[in-house]
Structure 1
Amino acid sequence: MSKLLACLIYSTIPALILLYLLASPYTKIEESPTIDAVHDLLTYGIPSPRLSADAVREHFQTQYDHFRFPGPVPRSFIGPLILAAVAKPLVWLDENIDRQLLVRAVLGLFTAFALLSYAKGLQRAFGRPVAYWYLLFQASQFHIMYYASRPLANTLPLAISTWALQLLLPEPKASPETHRRRCQTALALLTVAGVIFRAELALFLATHTLYLLLTRRIGVWDTITAGIVGLAVGLTATVVVDSYFYQQFPLWPELTAFVFNVIEGESAAWGVSPWWYYFVSAVPRLLLNPCTYLVCIPAALVYVRAPALSLVAPSVAFIAIYSFLPHKEWRFIVYAVPPLTATAALGAGYLWTHRAKSAPFRALPTTVLPLSVLATLAVSLTLFLLPSVANYPGGHALRTLQQRAEGTQPHISVQLSNLACQTGATLFMSQPRFLGNTTWTFDKSDTVPPHRRPSSTPPRSSFDYIIAERHWLPDGEDDGLEWEVVDSTRAFAGVRLLRPGQDVDESEGCVLEDTIAAIAGEQGRAVYRFTRDILRKYLTRGYWVVLPLEEKLWILKNKNRVPLAAAALGSGARKVASSI
């Protein structure tokens, strides 16, 4: 029975990561450097070493997306190379496999492996209850589970840093020499991850190194050795690989990004937050379960102070120092979530093992904490997941077009607007999951609608379809002669609080309602509306929270190029796109 329970709890994390992946298979603009790089590696391959330098440069410039659409800073190709190398054998076995889904599954399972390894380390160090509570807390949190398979620049280093933190956990049966070597390996791994992937890991490394030195778990020479090894490995790898793929030598992408974002302060253009933002907003959202930071972490610091401090002190110091940078995003501090969650698990484990001593200790771990985990998971699957699924109109619109227009023409060209590229339309989608005889090409080279350009290039009739934003819609007599709106895609439009006396606009759509209808049909929709009205009348006194949808993108058909049979695209497609 205990083995079955352990298997179920340990399998929760990879199962939820894959569930979130399947529910939300598209990506956003922040993920495009990695996902497009993996696409190019799988599709065009790496130039042969026998080619001349000019031929290699021409291969990259004509085929690879990062030459045609460079971002503000270069990003390392090492992460995409790892993902492409793991995915390539499976692509050989099945050429028609959904490659974007495959690549994201590889990344998600890699992250899951790191989280499970960390849980195993907690079990060895502090016992099975602590490991179980860690897994339950971690699985019920939304952000890491949802973003574990997302090719953000922070995801792969999160897995590496979590694996490194596992090496810093106590090993009851290990000798002091073994523990010292494990600490050295952990510091070297954090150095490699910081040099290659994310510069903020240098600060994360610094706070952990300082704590190890202050507690005399490692010596000064050990830290210097680990730093030299990590710097040599990471710097050699990134300069060699990225100088080749960007055709610039020497190139250290993360140093370029650090100078651009921190030294030059360009990251402030994406928004500025107050110093306390991470502690007041980001950390509570990342941990999500209020019991973890209001009850369990304080309990751990009171009852199991030494191990709790070793987990929480370096992470809190990292967050506090990093808070002085003006531009803040939760993903910049995500590396601190596993140790903070482990600290909460320490407190929960103590309460669990001492539950028989008094009534409060008995009620808290046996009733309140399990219910809080279930409630947190329910919030993750509804209030967080459902709006997130509906937040990729570009991916939904392009997939809808492909499902409907596949097979109507041997070749279909699509112009993608800026919003479509930012919200899910990727190069991988030129290889549709539902393959037929149609080849697809996408154009994202301009943000000016083709029907509003001068009559130079490209000509007005150069595309079969356009996935358009509102300001791209034809509004003149000439536009209407060539372009016809055949469908639209709705997306999440924020949270709205209805007050007493305010009616629900049934025509605008609702994330939760449309999801229920997609699963249970119109009868399910009717049951939801009936239940909502009863609860508003007798329980909430007229208040209700809705997650509305609004039209974000439209599919335009070029009437001069697309056969009339394709005009059937429309009535059913909107339902498909908005109810996924």
Structure 2
Amino acid sequence: MNSSYFSKFLKIYGYDIVLGLIATFYVLAVPYTKVEESFNVQAMHDILYHRHHLDNYDHLEFPGVVPRTFIGALLVSLLASPIILVMSFLHLPKTYGLIAAHGTSLMNPCHSFWNSFASFLNSSSPLYVSVRLASGCITLSTLHFFRAQVRYKFGSQVEAFFVILTAFQFHLLFYCTRPLPNILALGIVNLAYGFWLKGDFYAALNCLIFSAVVFRCDMVLLLCPLGLVLLLNFSMSMTDQINFIVEGIEMLYWNGATVCLTVLVDSIMWKKLVWPEFEVLWFNSVLNRSSEWGVFNVSGEKFALRHLGSDQRKVFCVPSLFSLDTFLPLLGALLDRRVLPFLIPVFTFVLLYSKLPHKELRFIISSVPIFNLSAAVAASRIFMNRKKAFWKLLSIILIGFLLISLGCTAVTFMASYENYPSGYALKYLHQIGHLASNTEEQWVHIDPYSAMNGISRFCENDFPWRYSKEESIPLKEYQNRNITYLINEHLLVEGYKCLFSVDGFSRVRPQLRFPPFLLIKEPKVYVHGNIKNEDLMNKNWPGC
């Protein structure tokens, strides 16, 4: 009986366990966050710790360029709150031994990633990691729903290859736990894809409307092609089209209710009348100011289908790999007609996004599940016919593609591991920076670069530590401030001594031996101590 129950459990949730373990590994190995995630990370922290005391919330002091919604942060915080309550009951600090290993690595240049990771597992941060895992649970749960519809429509073998392709890629499982608006939208889009495969077109469109109104207004670029495909009779009969028009009225009500929800919640949190995604749309489209955050050429989108890591502007796999990335999805559409109606709107979404001035690869991560579905259909057909001569050649290409994909995943993961230097710098400072006089406050100033590359409210400790993120302070002004430590990107600061530095990822250099790629690191963040503090100057520091 128990064996039968266990087999049934594995049949239903086995793939989820595999994908979940990989995502959890990424969280434990790289728990820190970047500036793109800062709003939701700070919002989750404030919801969990400040609760109804809105005046203490970070976004009121650092509002950012445009407001973002709190709905995603509220949902993730709700799921993570039981762990937070237990940790609070046990009086554990917010960063209970977070990444101790990387701090000790500053003293030992011969450290390895695996030693660092093993030490981290022994002293992990349940509070910080819990919100990441809660976010990942939401995304992977919706991916489970989509995958179940893949199994019903295309068969269990296609489902298996879908999981294999997803597991061998880096970006989807790495990003699925990260509190980005794109990832929160991805969870809703996964539901839309699932309903689409199931034949419930109205539910699919309603999901896309919700994601566009609440999380990412650019989901309109996916909503419009999908709706157009349905109207052009790819998926609906004439009767269905008439019903679709009738249902459109109900969709307008749904749209209005969604707008009311986000306006109500976010107006309370922002203390002003606001619809966040409308302001984002106004800023990016009407004011046309999105290009202020950088531009990426049209061909850049080709890299999104597989292998780019957390810093998309720096980590590149060989561009010719795109020929392999397009090969499987296109082959899937040719081998199975059922795939084409799903592939066209998603491909159109990527094409439309490529025309926008500002774009990053995470913006089109919502296209990955459908591309993987089409690729899985092709891989399944190749596997079934692998004993035939022509298909045997394709099977060799498929295996080569998977190996290359795995290699790119390894490179981008190692680059990402070294891509959050300021988080490690603050953790190491907490470990060795305690002074003899613990009754006095120790002020740490965090410059904008450091705040964008690994430090969040979850990294802060209690008394005697105090933190400042005041911006636009001239370098010469620091010596006139009562600041104990500086964490910034400058090697020399007048009135301060450089205590230690933390290396970060710089670039990937190809080489003609194994491994074929070498990760180049260089000092990215420097921790300085006030020379007026005698206790601080009398301590032994690694130096810069």
Question: TM-score band (shorter)?
Answer: 0.7 to 0.9
Equivalent-residue separation in structure 1 for 2:34 and 2:308 (angstroms): 20
Equivalent-residue separation in structure 1 for 2:154 and 2:294 (angstroms): 41
1:337 to 368, 371, 375: 368
Equivalent-residue separation in structure 1 for 2:66 and 2:502 (angstroms): 32
Alpha-carbon displacement from aligned partner over 1:16-73 (angstroms, at most 9, x marks no partner): 1111111111111111111111111111102xxxxxxxxxxxx53x411111111110
**Compared with structure 1, are the counterparts of its residues 195 and 497 closer, same or farther at alpha carbon in structure 2 (3 Å cutoff)?**
same
Alpha-carbon displacement from aligned partner over 1:153-204 (angstroms, at most 9, x marks no partner): 211111110121111114xxxxxxxx4xx22112111111110110111121
Q: Tell me whether 1:184 sits opposite 2:205 in the alignment.
A: no
1:89 corresponding residue in structure 2: 82
Q: How does 1:84-233 map to 2 (within 5 A)?
A: 84-95=77-88, 96=92, 98-170=126-198, 179=199, 182-214=200-232, 215-217=234-236, 218-219=240-241, 220-221=244-245, 223-225=247-249, 227-233=251-257
1:253 corresponding residue in structure 2: 276
Aligned length: 485
1:161–1:189 Cα contact (<8 Å) kept: yes
Alpha-carbon displacement from aligned partner over 1:203-261 (angstroms, at most 9, x marks no partner): 21111111122225242325514531431232011000011111112x11100011101
1:508 corresponding residue in structure 2: none
Equivalent-residue separation in structure 2 for 1:286 and 1:72 (angstroms): 26
1:414 to 432, 444, 465: 444
1:296 corresponding residue in structure 2: 328
1:446 corresponding residue in structure 2: 471
**Compared with structure 1, are the counterparts of its residues 144 and 18 closer, same or farther at alpha carbon in structure 2 (3 Å cutoff)?**
same
1:390 corresponding residue in structure 2: 418
What SS class does the counterpart of residue 39 from structure 2 fall into? helix
Equivalent-residue separation in structure 1 for 2:336 and 2:246 (angstroms): 28
Alpha-carbon displacement from aligned partner over 1:497-551 (angstroms, at most 9, x marks no partner): 468xxxxxxxxxxxxxxxxxxxxxxxxxxxxxxxx6xx69xxxxxxx64221111
Equivalent-residue separation in structure 2 for 1:98 and 1:81 (angstroms): 19
Structure 1 runs not aligned, ≥5 long = 47-58, 171-178, 432-436, 500-531, 537-543, 575-580
What SS class does the counterpart of residue 494 from structure 1 fall into? strand
What SS class does the counterpart of residue 68 from structure 2 fall into? coil
2:305–2:371 Cα contact (<8 Å) kept: no
What SS class does the counterpart of residue 453 from structure 1 fall into? helix
What SS class does the counterpart of residue 154 from structure 1 fall into? helix
1:18 corresponding residue in structure 2: 24
2:488 to 465, 468, 472: 468
2:121 corresponding residue in structure 1: none
1:50 corresponding residue in structure 2: none
**Compared with structure 1, are the counterparts of its residues 556 and 152 closer, same or farther at alpha carbon in structure 2 (3 Å cutoff)?**
same
- How many Å apart are 1:98 and its aligned residue? 3.6
Identity, % of aligned pairs?
Answer: 28
1:520 corresponding residue in structure 2: none
Q: Tell me whether 1:315 sits opposite 2:315 in the alignment.
A: no
**Compared with structure 1, are the counterparts of its residues 263 and 562 closer, same or farther at alpha carbon in structure 2 (3 Å cutoff)?**
farther
1:327 to 358, 371, 377: 358
1:238 corresponding residue in structure 2: 262
Letter in 1 for 2:163: L
Letter in 2 for 1:337: V
2:457 corresponding residue in structure 1: 427
1:407–1:438 Cα contact (<8 Å) kept: no
**Compared with structure 1, are the counterparts of its residues 284 and 377 closer, same or farther at alpha carbon in structure 2 (3 Å cutoff)?**
closer
Equivalent-residue separation in structure 2 for 1:301 and 1:570 (angstroms): 58
What SS class does the counterpart of residue 554 from structure 1 fall into? strand
**Compared with structure 1, are the counterparts of its residues 439 and 304 closer, same or farther at alpha carbon in structure 2 (3 Å cutoff)?**
same
Letter in 2 for 1:445: E
1:486 corresponding residue in structure 2: 499
Of stretches 286-295 and 489-498 in structure 1, the one that deviates more from structure 2 is 286-295
Equivalent-residue separation in structure 2 for 1:146 and 1:360 (angstroms): 35
**Compared with structure 1, are the counterparts of its residues 45 and 9 closer, same or farther at alpha carbon in structure 2 (3 Å cutoff)?**
closer
Equivalent-residue separation in structure 1 for 2:477 and 2:362 (angstroms): 39
> Greater CA radius of gyration, 1 or 2?
1
**Compared with structure 1, are the counterparts of its residues 118 and 5 closer, same or farther at alpha carbon in structure 2 (3 Å cutoff)?**
same
Letter in 1 for 2:258: G
2:139–2:184 Cα contact (<8 Å) kept: yes
**Compared with structure 1, are the counterparts of its residues 101 and 162 closer, same or farther at alpha carbon in structure 2 (3 Å cutoff)?**
same
Equivalent-residue separation in structure 1 for 2:143 and 2:398 (angstroms): 21
Equivalent-residue separation in structure 2 for 1:226 and 1:32 (angstroms): 36
2:306–2:405 Cα contact (<8 Å) kept: no
Equivalent-residue separation in structure 2 for 1:489 and 1:196 (angstroms): 38
Equivalent-residue separation in structure 1 for 2:374 and 2:246 (angstroms): 26
- How many Å apart are 1:79 and its aligned residue? 0.9
**Compared with structure 1, are the counterparts of its residues 211 and 318 closer, same or farther at alpha carbon in structure 2 (3 Å cutoff)?**
same
- How many Å apart are 1:283 and its aligned residue? 3.5
1:195–1:254 Cα contact (<8 Å) kept: yes
1:541 corresponding residue in structure 2: none
What SS class does the counterpart of residue 177 from structure 2 fall into? coil
Calculate the TM-score normalised by the size of structure 2: 0.82
2:139–2:177 Cα contact (<8 Å) kept: yes
CA RMSD of aligned residues (A): 2.7
Equivalent-residue separation in structure 2 for 1:135 and 1:248 (angstroms): 44
1:41 corresponding residue in structure 2: 47
- How many Å apart are 1:439 and its aligned residue? 3.9
**Compared with structure 1, are the counterparts of its residues 454 and 223 closer, same or farther at alpha carbon in structure 2 (3 Å cutoff)?**
same
Q: Tell me whether 1:551 sits opposite 2:523 in the alignment.
A: yes
Letter in 2 for 1:448: I
Equivalent-residue separation in structure 2 for 1:339 and 1:64 (angstroms): 38
1:379 corresponding residue in structure 2: 408
2:398 corresponding residue in structure 1: 369
Equivalent-residue separation in structure 2 for 1:98 and 1:463 (angstroms): 30
1:393–1:424 Cα contact (<8 Å) kept: yes
Equivalent-residue separation in structure 1 for 2:156 and 2:486 (angstroms): 56
- How many Å apart are 1:407 and its aligned residue? 7.5
Alpha-carbon displacement from aligned partner over 1:384-430 (angstroms, at most 9, x marks no partner): 01111111111111111112225752543201112110101111111
What SS class does the counterpart of residue 75 from structure 1 fall into? coil
- How many Å apart are 1:82 and its aligned residue? 0.8
1:140–1:380 Cα contact (<8 Å) kept: yes
Structure 2 runs not aligned, ≥5 long = 1-5, 93-124, 310-316
- How many Å apart are 1:314 and its aligned residue? 0.7
1:184–1:226 Cα contact (<8 Å) kept: no
Q: How does 1:399-410 map to 2 (within 5 A)?
A: 399-406=427-434, 409-410=438-439
Letter in 1 for 2:523: E
Letter in 1 for 2:254: G
Equivalent-residue separation in structure 1 for 2:259 and 2:394 (angstroms): 49
1:26–1:424 Cα contact (<8 Å) kept: yes
**Compared with structure 1, are the counterparts of its residues 412 and 301 closer, same or farther at alpha carbon in structure 2 (3 Å cutoff)?**
same
Calculate the TM-score normalised by the size of structure 1: 0.78
- How many Å apart are 1:292 and its aligned residue? 5.8
